[in-house]
Structure 1
């Protein structure tokens, strides 16, 4: 019984220390750095995808995204010494399953949108002392060509291309302003 109490106290202490591991100055610094990295990641991906869309439409952009999104993000991650993941509860590829924490954050962001609350980045330290930054990925109008609703913002042809490229895709049906997922950034310090 005493061992059980000690274990519970250890777990509670660990959780408490994880939630309060940042000073206010550190929270601000990591939030600013996380925002910078998320914006750089978005810019790198969207610049390349828009170029592919202009060159050959979804028939060129979808396969490009499948093959090159990872390397593009890895290049940005290397520059900043972080690990970058785009996580979602509606997957395009089953290779990148969200963690339980990422799912919680995505659901919290979706609930906040439903209640017209402001979406703010989250910065936290986990039980193994890793520092994480999370920020929402919001669907923009140009995203709807490949993530929208068939026969509304996405053509049947594009839907067919996506299904051929990603057989298990469920990353469609979005509207502008929806939460698509999260930027999940881990600092490698």
Structure 2
């Protein structure tokens, strides 16, 4: 998607190059319904404008566990940078997935931490209706991660008409070794 072309010309004239981590909610056709800036560097007004430009645009639609197109919530890193030399996205750092940290007394193979990425289906009521974990660690960790994620409350999301809808999203659970 070409965000630069749709931004206000003053961004280009003033060289207000900006990177932002944004949260996008899209319908099953990939139409962006909402966009929220989570972090930015250095210009908040430009980051907000990037979100405004994305509303109504198309992204790759999310898929549920059966491979069907679904409403989806996704984090994206976007940057406005005419020459690609600013490295703003790298300076902002990687995506910071929503998640929780669980402290445990023991981890396998002398690990100090292990991270699981969860694929979740969130029901129209904001509760987890399905969870699958990916990453290192024993199968029991996946079950605990899904259990803990399910205890978490998630936002109810709505379609273009304001009706609550189920959606897919990611969630991260990190298991850390307790300090001695």
Higher relative contact order (CA 8 A, sep 6+): 1
Alignment TM-score > 0.5, same fold: no
Query: Higher strand proportion, which one?
Result: 2
Q: TM-score range by the shorter chain?
A: under 0.3
Query: Higher helix proportion, which one?
Result: 1
